[in-house]
Amino acid sequence: MSLERWVRPCIYGMSGYVPGEQPAAGQRVVKLNTNENPHAVPPVVLEALAVALNEGLRLYPPPDAAPVREAAARAFGVDARGVVAGNGSDDLLTMIMRACVDPGETVAAPDPTYTLYPTLTRMQGGNYQAVPWLEDGGLPVAALAETGAKVIFVTRPNAPTGHAVPLAQVAALCRTAPGVVVLDEAYGEFADDHGLPLLAEHPNLIVTRSFSKSRSLAGLRIGLGFMSPALAEQLHKVRDSYNLDRLAQVAAVAVLEHLPAFQFAIETVKAERIRTTLSLTARGFRVAPSQANFVLAQIPAGPLSGAEWVALLKERGILVRHFPADPRLADKLRITIGTAAEMSALLAAVDWIQGQAG
């Protein structure tokens, strides 16, 4: 066995990305750790899928997901040639990296943010530069541009902090960055505004969206990228042909043709986000205002560490996300906004833990 001879050194030496824990089938938990939507997908999407099952799956799907791209163009008032569909928005992030980053080149992002970016950078043989957010949470525009990065990722709203930088700062970054700026709007539908209007003025901007959060379709893997048609043409070259399967394409079109059907669930999440923020604050947590479908909550001063909070919540059947490797995040929990009942269960568990600890 000569594994280290067969595999690239940059892969052999790295660890893979570790997604949030998935409970085993049948395990009963309140799952607040991977930012899924607690509300079911509207019946109109399931009906479209049921019809598609009967139309046969033996033929390849449209290779460039043209029906999805055209539906997205109609829904968002953009040019279908500037839309690329991905097998989840992670697939789009991979395409961007493979299209733009040569070994030794730089990729940058404000920090902390989505931990997949450095992993994708290492796969591409690039150098990742993490640039701290400004003191006020603002985008470090000059410092990011000065890295000379081929790709700069800006998650908005950001994970795990939940805050959304002003769009004017994103526009300023597009003007000064020497490479491509990726505005990752995986949580964009839960925010007060979004970046699609910036596309017209900034040919180096790519906006990505996910159907895993606001569209309740994490199980189907659908993402969209919006950009100039010229940039889209380059991304298509590194896209797996047939990257989006027939059923995902059918579901994506049904979603895009029925966007208002998702609005009630989105508003419910936003309302529950406010209640959760206030309720955790009342229990001694420090919760940053969030524009996403999760909150980042700093644990109360006391005997329990972040890891102990996570373990105790898990004992009570509640999964939350924790990033112990980052000292700025070790005393914080990232808590997905679930249903009202799920958030009440969380608060009851917090009360129980605080009762025991006190």
Least distance in angstroms from the C-beta of 240 to its own copies? 5
Least distance in angstroms from the C-beta of 294 to its own copies? 14
CA 47 from centre of chain: 27
Least distance in angstroms from the C-beta of 286 to its own copies? 29
By beta-carbon proximity to its own copies, the closer residue of 217 and 304 is: 217
3-state secondary structure of 156: coil
Ramachandran angles phi, psi of 248, nearest 5°: -60, -40
Q: Give the strand order in the sheet containing 332-336.
A: 286-287, 294-298, 332-336
Q: Which secondary structure element, helix H or strand E, spans residue 271, and what is its range?
A: helix 263-282
By beta-carbon proximity to its own copies, the closer residue of 120 and 353 is: 120
Least distance in angstroms from the C-beta of 310 to its own copies? 19
By beta-carbon proximity to its own copies, the closer residue of 61 and 306 is: 61
Structural tokens at position 200: 């017209």
Least distance in angstroms from the C-beta of 281 to its own copies? 28
3-state secondary structure of 208: strand
By beta-carbon proximity to its own copies, the closer residue of 158 and 293 is: 293
CA 13 from centre of chain: 26
By beta-carbon proximity to its own copies, the closer residue of 264 and 281 is: 264
Q: Which secondary structure element, helix H or strand E, spans residue 45, and what is its range?
A: helix 43-54
Q: What is the largest CA-CA distance in the chain?
A: 62
By beta-carbon proximity to its own copies, the closer residue of 116 and 196 is: 116
Ramachandran angles phi, psi of 9, nearest 5°: -55, -40
Any idea what the Cα angle at residue 25 is, between residues 267 and 37, rounded to 5°? 10
Least distance in angstroms from the C-beta of 78 to its own copies? 17
Closest of 212, 240, 197 to residue 94, by C-alpha: 240
Least distance in angstroms from the C-beta of 42 to its own copies? 11
By beta-carbon proximity to its own copies, the closer residue of 238 and 274 is: 238
Which residues sit opposite 332 in a β-bridge? 298
Could you tell me the sign of the dihedral formed by the alpha carbons of 239, 242, 244, 250, in that order? positive
